[in-house]
Amino acid sequence: MYRTNLEGTTTRTAFYLCILDEKLDRTNYAKEIQLSQVFSAFSALAILISCLGLLGLVSFMVERRTKEIGIRKILGASEYNILRLFLKEFLFLVVISNAIALPIAYWGIHQWLESFAYRTQAEITLFAGTGLLTLSITGITVGFLILKNARRNPVDALRYE
């Protein structure tokens, strides 16, 4: 039925069919999509830089406390005890920083979402997931270096004064 009606038209231009909602979404939210892509790229870069900084800080602290780790191992501390000692310090700092940053981020996202025509709520589970992600990244980064150093021979750490 449509084909016969379209073939009878006098113009020979191509017929372009689009849904109005999709067209409005593409034009009205193109800036937000582009902004989202830029934020994603910079977020990935910030995570990479922070992991490298954390790696450097942990390497520095482990190097300074190598003798302490050696003495603890000689006195009977297990790798788990040494790992827990270092993780407690770093994870405490991450929990404090999350407690400061996540409410500010929630407020900022809430203000940003208020500017849209179709309002949505920022879900708390997203922020809880972010907190768990930062804790796990910190735990993996710190744990890798601590276990590497804790498995070394304690005599090598104490040999040189």
Q: Does residue 40 belong to any structural domain of this protein?
A: no
- pLDDT of 23 reads 67
Please give the average per-residue pLDDT across 45-66, as a whole number: 90
Q: Does residue 114 belong to any structural domain of this protein?
A: yes
Q: Does residue 82 belong to any structural domain of this protein?
A: yes
Of 12-21, 56-65, 83-92, minimum mean pLDDT range: 12-21
Look at 26 and 52; give whichever has higher pLDDT: 52
For residue 106, what are its two tokens? 């929630």
CA-to-CA distance for 149 and 147, rounded, in angstroms?
5
In the chain, how many domains are there?
Answer: 1
- pLDDT of 3 reads 55
Q: Does residue 54 belong to any structural domain of this protein?
A: no
Q: Evaluate whether 133 touches 145 at the Cβ level (below 8 Å).
A: no
Angle ∠(60,61,64) on CA atoms, nearest 5: 90
Range of the domain at 129: 64-161
Which pLDDT tens digit goes with each residue over 107-161? 998 888 888 777 788 888 989 999 999 999 999 988 998 888 888 888 887 776 5
Q: Does residue 33 belong to any structural domain of this protein?
A: no
Q: Does residue 139 belong to any structural domain of this protein?
A: yes
